[in-house]
Amino acid sequence: MRICGKRNQLTGRTVVPGSKSHTIRALLLATLAEGTSTIHNPLPSADCLSTAAAVPLMGSRVDLNLTTEGCPGTDWVVYGAGKKLHLPTDVINVGNSGSLLYFLSPIAATFEGYSIFTGDESIRKRPVDHVADVLNQMGASAEVSQPGSRFCPLVIKGPVSAKNTIRTEGSASSQYISGLMMAALRLKDEMHIELSDPTETPYLTMTQKWLEKIGAEVKISDDFKSISVKAPDEIKAFDCTIPSDWEAVAFPLVAALISDSDICIDNIDGSGTQGDDAIVGILKSLGADIEWNRETDTIRVRGGKKSAGGIGRLSTENLPGGELHVNLSGFPDAICALSAAACFTEGDTYIEDIAVCRRKETDRISVLKKELEKLGASVDEGSDFMVIHGHSPFKADGSPNPDFALHGAEIESYFDHRVAMALSVMSLGLPEGERIFVRNAECCSVSFPHFFEVMNEIGAGFEIS
């Protein structure tokens, strides 16, 4: 699907989907539990549906409460496998979901026998050697199927044990660490993990809270370098409501700020378990007009002429050194939305400690540089950083800024959902007559089903071309 976007104004209220990170954790833990669990407001994205299709291979049953049109409902029921959980009965195809790959493979490794993990073309380019290494430390025999490769298919012969302390960097991703923490629920011994370079630490806290919810004892040091998990005697079924996904909130948020817009985003998650909520403070430091009402779980965003000052200019001028420096090690998925906003910000934005972004659905650092430059942006990249030399469409007095040079172009999504959404919303802030065409934009369904329809309900005007 090729999407066309152009300058437009947003108005009204919108709600973004539930969190992918929370939904996948809920499905996996409900599978491990004894009894029937209900998950309210799950995210019906491709990654979550891949998880719902995978866990029955280990003994649970998932009822998506499909509508008459065949769409997943708003309440999913998981009949947990509990003590009857078993080795996967088939190869597990995770689709495009790195979360599912890294979460479920350590759990599967707790069983005696072989399990095999693979996925789509993108997944088969994501490294799994760090997963194999920690499982081998635990007594498994884990390796990639193709000699000389670092990628899926991943073949695991279990079982593992938690008798030895697991030592790993943690810099490649937090996801396999969360997978180890969940696998600990099936082991007799208390699991001890030592990390030399932990990243994406808010997601480790998210996993901790989920495990504590079902009765596990979890300890994480202040620097996240030491983690221990002790399983409960029994994992009991639960009911839960999935909060909104901050990674999805970021896109209508940025879209409103770079256009003459006034919107409210409802059902905002204020729990602090999603590191991406830091984007609000980052954007406000640039002068963004954002009001977060924590009593009503609502964010109001006003951009351009609709902002409090009537200009809506984003700038780094009031920051130390006149530059924005953001360390994204805790929430690297924000790179796409933040890069889009930085292109409309007067001043230099340094996005730092993002080496992990090269190992996501795409190499997001190089992909964003290439595609943003097609739109007229000035971008530098390093091994673990990006610098965006941005310009606001307006000077401080509200007059047009001659240095603002963004324009339309035909761009590639690389089948990366967050790249597609970020580049699409940039079209709303372009000069009149300019258009952005995004190829293979259907990939947005991985984390934000019906993204373009939802945005069009508040005036985005995206068209299939």
Catalytic residues: 333
Would you state the structure tokens that stand for residue 205, as one six-digit string?
């806290």
Instruction: Report whether 417 contacts 45 (CB < 8 A).
Output: no
Element (H, E) at 105: helix 98-108
Longest dimension (CA), the chain: 69
Would you state the structure tokens that stand for residue 358, as one six-digit string?
């090269």
Report the alpha-carbon distance of residue 92 to residue 100 in Å, rounded.
10
Other CB atoms within a 10 A radius of the CB of residue 73 amount to 13
Instruction: Report whether 124 contacts 118 (CB < 8 A).
Output: yes
Report the alpha-carbon distance of residue 236 to residue 373 in Å, rounded.
52
Cross-sheet strand order for the sheet of 409-412? 409-412, 435-439, 3-6, 463-464
Would you state the structure tokens that stand for residue 214, as one six-digit string?
């079902």
Which residues on adjacent β-strands are paired with residue 400? Answer: 394
Per-residue CA distances from 428 to 85, 235, 463 (Å): 49, 48, 13
Q: Classify the C-alpha dihedral 328-333-335-338 as positive or negative.
A: negative
Give which of 34, 74, 66, 83 is closest to 238, Cα–Cα: 34
Would you state the structure tokens that stand for residue 431, as one six-digit string?
């000069």
Sorted by sequence, the CB contacts under 8 Å of residue 207 that are 6+ apart come out as: 25, 177, 178, 181, 182
Per-residue CA distances from 410 to 76, 206, 339, 429, 445 (Å): 39, 38, 18, 16, 20
